[in-house]
Structure 1
Amino acid sequence: MSAFLPLARSTLYSPVWLVPFDDYARRVRAAGVEVRLERFDDAGGGWLQLDVRAVLTPSGSIAFPGLGRRAEPWVARPERHRACFAAAGYQPLYPADGQPFSADLVGVEFLVYPYDDTHPPSVEASPRLVRLLPAVAFPYPPRTRTVHGVVVDATTRAPVVNALVEARGRTSQDLTPWHERTLSDTRGAFRLALRWEGEKAAEHAVEETFRLEATERPGRTGSLVVHLPQDAERQHVIEIREQ
């Protein structure tokens, strides 16, 4: 039996299933998340906002039931769409896990294939995480250790918008890997939590060392070494350049 049921479930088909995921808290987040759907206009060469409301499923996924349903799907072509996320205190990370980061990606892009009750979509959709990273205004819990600064172009000194800022390491006791990340805002500003222990010169040393890395796109990166606690209040500047 086909997984596509002509009448009972065809109207519930969605070409994409997106799961908003709070990257800081490590859990699915549905409350307070808004999604705007856009379609690429081949004739005009730009994106058009659609008046299509997203549906939140019981599992916490965001779907668009019925999107792509056509009276004569065999004469229609797949259309490019993208879903743009917004949530107070967060910035969405759009590249899928394992894909290269690029700051100019501003939505989850996908193809919508035409279908009807007797002609199922040619591609099945599968759930995909959309990670929400803490923004500059993220309400961190009290006493959370953070560092802040700006990401700029090394040559022009212009702010780099939507750059991915990361720090990685391992805990000293059991060597468990940790990973903190955020995105720069429209001014190039960032604020990154450093909840875990950094590198130490000796077991009981006070100073901890962290390496911050910023990425605009593949081949355009920058890095900076931060020493805590002495650099905690300093505004750090990460310079992006061609590598």
Structure 2
Amino acid sequence: MTRFYPVETSVLHSPAWFVPFDEFAQRVRAADVATALDRFDPDGNAWVPQETTAVRTPSAAIAYPELGRRRAPGAEPERFRVRFAAIGLAPLYPADGADFDAALTGVEFVARPYDDAGPPAVGSEPRLVRLLPGVAFPYGPGVRTVYGVVLDAVTRAPVANALVEARGTTSRDGIAWLERTLTDAAGAFRLALRWEGDPVTGPPAGQVFHLTATERPGRTGALDVRLPADRDIRHVMEIVEQQRRS
């Protein structure tokens, strides 16, 4: 059972704490989010699962209080990572403003040793962990979606955990919009398109949406989708190595 702490100050000694955020609903996800903690073993060069239990504050922050509490002399900082899971959702691990990389498998942080005589030397700030709709996300009635697969253009292998995006602006008030999803292990995706695309006169008349797929910096793909004509088509997006500018 998840433990609840009455006030935020109870987790001030957590080396890291996180706030799960449902990007489709645009709100903090307070329930049904599971986490797994791993510690990096430098001797074995591997991540080792831990049994440490996370706690959740009333404001939905997830923390690991006292993780670095050690009295042993000469104790060294330790690396940890947290992996998130929620039904129908996929975690986006890069922090806001960081480059996307499909190889990231968790949020890493460092737990520095401390004890009663010496509090943690470095504080921690809450980090938003964005949860994007996955292939199995239960979109509500009337939500327009397109689906397909992301492949490597050379090997034709599926690209797992690729970031698929569409963005634009509304014609009436010029408000920017963004829809995002992540591919599953088979490279499949399903992306909501709740907003308006670029109008095309036809025939037939419709809207064009510009989709991009990213595996990591320098490996991307793009595809234009025309609706409603392409609504029921299985779209194939190809990831290619982009030429670097000198």
Same fold by TM-score greater than 0.5:
yes
CA distance in 1, matches of 2:97, 2:239: 22
TM-score (normalised: structure 1): 0.93
Instruction: Answer yes or no: is the 8 Å Cα contact 1:10–1:116 preserved in 2.
Output: no
Letter in 2 for 1:60: A
Specify every segment of 5 or more residues in structure 2 that has no aligned partner in the other structure, as ranges: 1-8
CA distance in 1, matches of 2:217, 2:11: 40
- Residue 109 of structure 1 is matched in structure 2 by 108
Q: What stretches of structure 1 move > 4 A for 4+ residues in a row?
A: 9-12
Mapped pair 1:100 → 2:99 = yes
Mapped pair 1:46 → 2:32 = no
Mapped pair 1:158 → 2:157 = yes
Instruction: Answer yes or no: is the 8 Å Cα contact 1:10–1:117 preserved in 2.
Output: no
Instruction: Answer yes or no: is the 8 Å Cα contact 1:160–1:188 preserved in 2.
Output: yes
Residue deviations 1:12-69 (CA, integer Å, cap 9, x gap): 5101110000000000002110000000000000000000111010111000111000
Mapped pair 1:219 → 2:218 = yes
Letter in 1 for 2:143: T
- Residue 28 of structure 1 is matched in structure 2 by 28
Aligned positions, number:
232
Instruction: Answer yes or no: is the 8 Å Cα contact 1:15–1:68 preserved in 2.
Output: yes
- Residue 198 of structure 1 is matched in structure 2 by 197
CA deviation after TM superposition for structure 1 residue 123, in Å: 1.1
CA deviation after TM superposition for structure 1 residue 206, in Å: 3.7
Shift in CA distance, 172/80, structure 1 to aligned 2, threshold 3 Å? same
CA distance in 2, matches of 1:211, 1:10: 46
- Residue 185 of structure 2 is matched in structure 1 by 186
CA deviation after TM superposition for structure 1 residue 201, in Å: 3.4
Specify every segment of 5 or more residues in structure 1 that has no aligned partner in the other structure, as ranges: 1-8
Mapped pair 1:59 → 2:59 = yes
CA distance in 2, matches of 1:201, 1:227: 9
Shift in CA distance, 234/126, structure 1 to aligned 2, threshold 3 Å? same
Letter in 1 for 2:193: L
* Secondary structure in 2 matching 1:75: coil
CA distance in 2, matches of 1:232, 1:11: 48
* Secondary structure in 1 matching 2:200: coil
Letter in 1 for 2:96: D
Instruction: Answer yes or no: is the 8 Å Cα contact 1:12–1:66 preserved in 2.
Output: no
Instruction: Answer yes or no: is the 8 Å Cα contact 2:68–2:112 preserved in 1.
Output: yes
Letter in 2 for 1:18: F
Over the matched positions of the two proteins, sequence identity in percent amounts to: 61
CA distance in 2, matches of 1:128, 1:68: 18
- Residue 4 of structure 1 is matched in structure 2 by none
TM-score (normalised: structure 2): 0.92
